[in-house]
Structure 1
Amino acid sequence: MTTHTRTPMPAPARPAPIFTLPGVYAPQHDTALLTRALDREDIGAGTSVLDLGTGSGALAVAAARRGARVTALDISWRAVLTARLNALLSRQSVTVHHGDLTTRVPRGPFDLVLSNPPYVPSPSPMLPRRGAARAWDGGLAGRLVVDRVCDTAPRILRTGGVLLMVHSALCDEQLTLDRLALRGMKAEVVERRLIPFGPVLRSRQAWLRRRHLIGDDETSEELVVVRAERV
């Protein structure tokens, strides 16, 4: 009787953890929610992806792991360095540029644009010029960068290309859907998640109540992922 020995298959390599330099936005609930939406897209070799406001590069690396050709952009030099480092540690090819949505957006056309922009309503009407708050403060309504993404994505997506953007319901997803529709995009909310207020929103609860953005007893916010296709 012949005994056959089965050679065990090696366990798949775990993805490298995402590293963040001080002052760079670390992956959180919004990153995970946008990654889940990304998982449902048809991405493979040859898919061209742009990650606007890449931060740590977590989303850019996730798209690269699926075989996409990925370009990433961020206004923060620390974020650029962090994203490049995470791509290197993950052994993924990601081209990371320094710049903002008005000076350095690659021309495309792209198959997919990803964005986790600053979207937290802030007492300041202007975007911060430096510091960690650049990763989350979005002006009085939280829409200064969200609106720029809505205006930029249709110009750089191919016909049939898709924008995936996450933001808080505090800055009004219906405004996002309407703005994208006016620019020829078929938009809908494809993900929702309710999460407890983090440190930034907890520190602004009184201000948010005065602006009627939250109720007296609210202690959580809803995150949404908007998917928009250029038709």
Structure 2
Amino acid sequence: MPSTALSLTTLPGGLVALPGVYQPQADTRLLAAALAQEDLGSRTEALEIGTGTGALALHAATRGARVTAVDVSWPAVATARLNAWLHRLPLRVLHGDFEARTAGRHFDVVFSNPPYVPAPDDRLPSRGPERAWDAGLDGRAVIDRICVDAPSLLRPGGVLLMVHSGMCGAEKTLDRLAGAGLAAEVTATASVPWGPVLRSRRSWLEQQGLAAEAEEREELVVIRAQCP
């Protein structure tokens, strides 16, 4: 049986990933650029929802923030903990649902690259790499939960940063955050080529009206919302 070390994937930036853990991609980089614009320091309490490799959480930790990272995937938790150890950065990584694991806590910054890919099955996967991207028929199963929970997670003046596909409806996200009492806006966008998951669902996406025929690029959006 091969050792765990032999099963690791080495990523740019000195990160590693266990099999099935979402690897940093264009959405990660777009959110990292948005996070870089925020005022983080030693007094900043930050939360990442769905940490994956821990890349974004570690990005915040390098600037002195005290970061808690949560993921429902045990391989992701193990990967983030290992990357924190390799980079000698303090990072609290918790396994489980973000709402349950952060009950009663409040943060200055909450950031997330949640699952947002529309899927033919409205049930969220309970295992496998699909947990990192499948998010119900409209791709909003996790996005909507974050919108609802953001006011209770943020301290006064706290900021939520979230990236997702334009397929999920940026205006809907803005409306839900505004309805929750937050001042929300789109602060960054990017157009990226479709990846293998979207390509494999082309016919279904077109049938659902989520993609135009022969569409080849996906719009990503970063939403920034601030608590009064």
Give TM-score, length-normalised by structure 1. Answer: 0.92
- Report the counterpart of residue 24 of structure 2 in structure 1: 27
Give TM-score, length-normalised by structure 2. Answer: 0.93
Q: How far apart are residue 102 of structure 1 and its match?
A: 4.0
Once residues 61 and 134 of structure 2 are traced to their aligned partners in structure 1, the CA distance between those partners, rounded to angstroms, is 28
- Report the counterpart of residue 37 of structure 2 in structure 1: 40
Once residues 58 and 23 of structure 2 are traced to their aligned partners in structure 1, the CA distance between those partners, rounded to angstroms, is 14
- Report the counterpart of residue 169 of structure 2 in structure 1: 172
Q: Is structure 2 residue 205 aligned with structure 1 residue 202?
A: no
User: Cα distance 1:16–1:207, how it changes in 2: closer, same or farther (>3 A)?
Assistant: closer
- Calculate percent identity across the aligned residue pairs: 57
Asked if structure 2 preserves the Cα contact closer than 8 Å seen for 1:168 and 1:221, the reply is: yes
| Secondary structure of 1:66's aligned partner | coil
Runs of 4+ in 1 over 2 A off after TM superposition: 105-108
Once residues 106 and 61 of structure 1 are traced to their aligned partners in structure 2, the CA distance between those partners, rounded to angstroms, is 22
| Secondary structure of 2:219's aligned partner | strand
The higher radius of gyration belongs to: 1
Q: Which runs of 5+ in 1 are unaligned?
A: 1-14
Once residues 216 and 40 of structure 2 are traced to their aligned partners in structure 1, the CA distance between those partners, rounded to angstroms, is 37
Deviations 1:118-176 (A, max 9, x none): 00000001100110000000100000001111111210100100000000000001110
Q: How far apart are residue 16 of structure 1 and its match?
A: 5.0
- Report the counterpart of residue 6 of structure 1 in structure 2: none
Q: How far apart are residue 58 of structure 1 and its match?
A: 0.4
| Secondary structure of 1:166's aligned partner | strand
- Report the counterpart of residue 130 of structure 1 in structure 2: 127
Question: What code does the residue aligned with 1:98 have?
Answer: H
Question: What code does the residue aligned with 2:153 have?
Answer: I
Q: How far apart are residue 106 of structure 1 and its match?
A: 4.5
Once residues 154 and 126 of structure 1 are traced to their aligned partners in structure 2, the CA distance between those partners, rounded to angstroms, is 26
Q: Which runs of 5+ in 2 are unaligned?
A: 1-11
- Report the counterpart of residue 193 of structure 1 in structure 2: 190
Q: Is structure 2 residue 159 aligned with structure 1 residue 156?
A: no
- Report the counterpart of residue 113 of structure 2 in structure 1: 116
